[in-house]
Amino acid sequence: MTIIKPILRGRDIKRYYYEWVGLWVIFIPWHFPLHEDTTIQGASKEAEKEFQKQYPSIYSHLLQFKDQLLKRNKEETGIRYEWYALQRCAATYYPEFEKEKVINKNIGKNLAFTLDNENKFVEASCFFFTGKHLRYILGNINSDFIKYYIYKYSDRTGAGDIAIKGVFLETFPIPPITSSNQPIVSQIEELVDKILAMKKENPQADTINLEKEIDRLVYQLYGLTEEEIMIVEGKINSNL
């Protein structure tokens, strides 16, 4: 198991791409490297010995900070889990980070959603989700229509920034895929793939025409009338 992971911050997430700035995080679950042994109860000396044996450089590095690490939660650290364990909350779902996923920054003036298939971890200023049809979903949530929806219904910070919480992401009105809308879905996915490829090669690549084509398909997907499209685009063009 690789325990030094590349990590993204909210500020690194852009529209259809991200800018990884070479940051890494040390990820060590409870009882590592014996973390898959479900019989272990409490801090394990055997786990620590194996950690020191298998990862001597990282162990030596963390040993410098043992006193500080032991002070994190005196009722648990060194009792329920080893002093060097650096992950707790994600102990059961950390494999999700290494799946293909859509990532967004959760607070900002500008909305940004992208796709990651390079096993990047993300920190607390981001949300992400995995699952099926991610390119279809990404095309939707980067569209002008969903941008209009987000600005209309999302929470705001005191400074007026958009605050996209996980529970809000779950309410996005993404139409389920059916036999009747499958042709539109396929076109959206193809366009998203083209944009992702262009942005990966050159983050400054001009993809506006492809994005406008996705907007047009999304309007069809939701069955918007010409009048409704004018309302959406009027708000978008006036910066909402």
CB 113 within 8 A of CB 15: yes
Residue 6 lies inside a defined structural domain of this protein:
no
- In a domain? residue 81: no
Domain count, the chain: 1
For residues 117 and 17, the answer to whether their CB atoms sit within 8 Å is no
pLDDT at 237: 73
What pLDDT score does 91 carry? 59
Question: Per residue in 45-76, pLDDT tens?
Answer: 999 999 999 999 999 999 999 999 999 888 88
What local confidence, expressed as pLDDT, does residue 128 receive? 93
In-domain check, residue 124: yes
Any domain includes 223: yes
- Is the bond preceding residue 6 a cis peptide, omega within 30 degrees? no
| pLDDT for position 170 | 80
Dihedral, 139, 141, 144, 145 alpha carbons, nearest 10: 110
Helix H segments across 55-207? 56-63, 66-70, 134-141, 144-153, 166-169, 182-201
Whether residue 191 lies inside any domain: the answer is yes
Residue 139 structural domain? 99-237
Q: Give pLDDT, residue 157.
A: 81
Residue 155 CA to residue 121 CA, distance in Å, equals: 25
Q: What is the pLDDT of residue 19?
A: 96
Q: Mapping DSSP to helix (H, G, I), strand (E, B) and coil, where does residue 209 land?
A: helix
- Tell me the per-residue pLDDT of 194-225, one tens digit each, with 9 for 90 and over: 999 999 999 999 999 999 999 999 999 999 99
pLDDT of residue 151: 85
Determine the pLDDT at residue 156: 81
pLDDT confidence of residue 50: 97
Is residue 213 situated within a structural domain?
yes
* Residue 119 domain-assigned (yes or no): yes
> Which parts of the chain sit beneath pLDDT 50?
none
Q: Kindly list the distances between the CA atom of residue 46 and the CA atoms of 15, 36, 63, 76, in Å, as whole numbers in the listed order.
A: 46, 13, 16, 18
pLDDT of amino acid 239:
65
Rounded distance between C-alpha atoms, residue 161 and residue 111, angstroms:
10
Phi, psi of 98, deg, nearest 5: -95, 15
In a domain, 106, yes or no: yes
pLDDT, residue 165, reads: 76
